[in-house]
Amino acid sequence: MEGNVMKKKLFSEIPKIESGGLILRGLTPADAPGLQELVDSPRVYRYLPTFLFERKYPDVRCVIEKLYDECWKDSIILGVYLDNGFCGLAEMYGYRDPIHKISVGGRLLERCWGKGIADEALKMMIRYLYDETDIEIITASSMVENEASAGLLRKNGFQMVVHAAEEDWGYEEPTIVDKWIR
């Protein structure tokens, strides 16, 4: 408890986080066309693991239908919306309850790149996690060559703690990543 305010346990609800015109909230069947556009973009997924939940099923409607049953308690995947239009996904994953730690990540439609949406979505996740939940440590990983993600993490107060580590992201060879903490 902090200042008589009881903080929520992560995974006690599907959060809806709002800031200006940007909203992070649970996916609905109406999001299928936007999610399909995201999943079909090789440029979006070039710096991401191969095993992300939205790519688990060939039909994105099935992904949306199963999302909050199958991966709940492991991951919170939220849609990112600007003025109610689908822009991408924000994810909180790798929850470690004993140490109150979570990792964050995201992916946006190509047409939403360069508009400050990723920056604001990350700020919103950080505020939500620290202000409203019992999370004390937030981490992230980024491929070494993904300079845009590294810049976004630095801008939002993350510090690189490991450079060029090998991780299994589902590719034939280990993925070389930087590890970040905030």
The answer to whether position 71 is within a domain reads yes
The answer to whether position 118 is within a domain reads yes
- The residue that leads in pLDDT, 10 or 165, is 165
Task: Report H helices in 108-160.
Answer: 117-132, 147-155
How sure is the predictor about 1, in pLDDT bands with cuts at 50, 70 and 90? Answer: very low
Percent of the chain exceeding pLDDT 90 equals 88
The answer to whether position 147 is within a domain reads yes
CB atoms within 10 A of CB 15: 20
Angle formed at CA 87 by CA 39 and CA 46, multiple of 5 degrees: 40
The answer to whether position 154 is within a domain reads yes
pLDDT score recorded for residue 6: 77
pTM above 0.75, yes or no: yes
The answer to whether position 10 is within a domain reads no
The answer to whether position 106 is within a domain reads yes
Token duo for residue 67: 């999302």
C-alpha 81/C-alpha 149 separation (Å) is 19
- Domain region containing 84: 17-181
Number of independent structural domains in the chain: 1
Query: If we measure between CA atoms, which residue out of 106, 109, 124 comes closest to residue 24?
Result: 124
| pLDDT above 50 for 175 | yes
CATH number for position 165: 3.40.630.30
